[in-house]
Amino acid sequence: MKRQLLAFCSFVILLFASQVFAQSSNSQMMWASMEVASDTAVFTLNLPEAGCLSVYKTYSSTKKERFWGPVYMQKGRFRLRIPLSRIAGGQGYFELFNLSPYAEFETGSRGNGERQFVNPCGLDYDRTKKELLIADTGNDRIVRLSEDGRFLSKHGGFGIILGEHSEEREETLDAPYDVAAGGFSNFYVSDQNNDRICIFDTFRSYKGNLYPEKKARRSQFSRPSGITVDRENNIWIVETGNDRLLKISPYGDKIFELGGFGSGRNRLKRPEQVAISDDGKVYVADTGNGRIAIFDKLGAYMSSLNGDFKNVSAVHPDADGLLWITDATEDKLILCTPAGVKLSEFVSASDGSTFRAPRDLASSEKALFLLDSGNHRIVHFNKNKESTRVSWQAPGDVVE
């Protein structure tokens, strides 16, 4: 019976492979075939052009998981081995894609008007409300814009928090460094000079401090900068003053911290920003060490990217798994693979003017937003993605 099951599964896969070859025998087309051993699936792929390759497993019309890639591949054929247990009984697709980004338009200039900023340091894209949140640092406020740059509202205004104050007093800000859209339709602000993280609710009303508690001494928390929210609604905070990264629960409890001043694998030096990819990797712009440090969601060190960075100010993993990196000293934007293979580099906006001290990044499905801090503006990039997909389908577990 077991031998018959093995023969049946092999027949199914060979039939699938022959159909792919029959439909896509042209070497100028992308195709894939699959062979199955007892515990391994071996895919043979033909790539008609160079590009980034990813492998996805689909669970429904809307749910998918990228479990391999993106990896930059040259034109030609290659073989990819995947444990059968990883894909048994499943289906998905290969995606070969290339991005040709270009700066489409800009929003902002120096000032304190509705669409004006002074040295903004942080931004985020709220995927639920489809709007941009900007930490307008020099104007001590948070500005909300539509995706196409229309003004929606502003929050905050200058204020120093000392001791007990009324709610009206506490909702003011002092040099907010970053803002993050989060769980429960909140957004969180790293209020840098007030040494706190504060919360605004779904109606964009001030709700108080998330961290630290009012009774905690201010010296325990020093110069928060980058901030982001993961899929479990935990808040990750870069604390530049203490050279560390904190993971905070949605209720304000510290889950753990990592870092501390130094150049070792688990140490940080003047970190500025943090970002989390769809697969849960935590990327820290470890500015003082000239690298991007990568950790898992439990805080364990994984690896580092040590490119030709002078001043890594931000890193942003997009929905395709590629990394966008800003260098505030070199005044440039870099696009690379997770392995650090550089794909593109940008230094100017749509009007030809060069970047000055770019500070942060965010993205929607089709656009990338660059916070060009020294020019007091946001540069809107069209990612201009072209892709080709080929489906795969695997049998259930094969029993020897």
Please compute, for residue 14, the number of CA atoms within 13 A of its CA located in the half-sphere on the CB side.
Answer: 7
Residues 6+ apart with CB under 8 A from 38: 6, 84, 398, 400
Average pLDDT over residues 89-110: 97
CA 119 to chain centre: 22
What is residue 219's three-state secondary structure?
helix
> How do residues 372-385 score in pLDDT, each as one tens digit?
999 999 999 999 99
pLDDT higher than threshold 90 for residue 395: no
Fold of 102-383: Neuraminidase (2.120.10)
What is residue 166's three-state secondary structure?
coil
Average pLDDT over residues 16-32: 57
| Average pLDDT, rounded, for the chain | 88
Q: Are 363 and 370 in contact (CB under 8 A)?
A: no
Note the pLDDT of residue 349.
98
> How do residues 253-308 score in pLDDT, each as one tens digit?
999 999 999 999 999 999 999 999 999 999 999 999 999 999 999 999 999 999 88
Alpha-carbon distance of 92 to 389, in angstroms, equals 10
Note the pLDDT of residue 169.
53
**DSSP string computed for 26-94:** -TTS-EEEEEE-SSEEEEEEEESS-EEEEEEEESSSS-EEEEEEEEEE-SEEEEEEEEHHHHTT-EEEE
Query: In which band, very low, low, confident or very high, does the pLDDT at 217 lie, cut at 50, 70 and 90?
Result: low
pLDDT higher than threshold 70 for residue 15: no
Q: Are 61 and 34 in contact (CB under 8 A)?
A: no
Fold of 2-99+387-393: Immunoglobulin-like (2.60.40)
Note the pLDDT of residue 8.
32
Average pLDDT over residues 129-142: 96
> How do residues 151-168 score in pLDDT, each as one tens digit?
999 998 876 554 444 443
Note the pLDDT of residue 69.
95
Same fold, 2-99+387-393 and 102-383: no
* pTM exceeds 0.85 for this model: yes
pLDDT higher than threshold 70 for residue 68: yes
Per-domain residue ranges of the chain: 2-99+387-393, 102-383
Alpha-carbon distance of 185 to 128, in angstroms, equals 8
Alpha-carbon distance of 223 to 193, in angstroms, equals 6
Alpha-carbon distance of 190 to 199, in angstroms, equals 9
Neighbours of 219 (CB within 10 A): 9
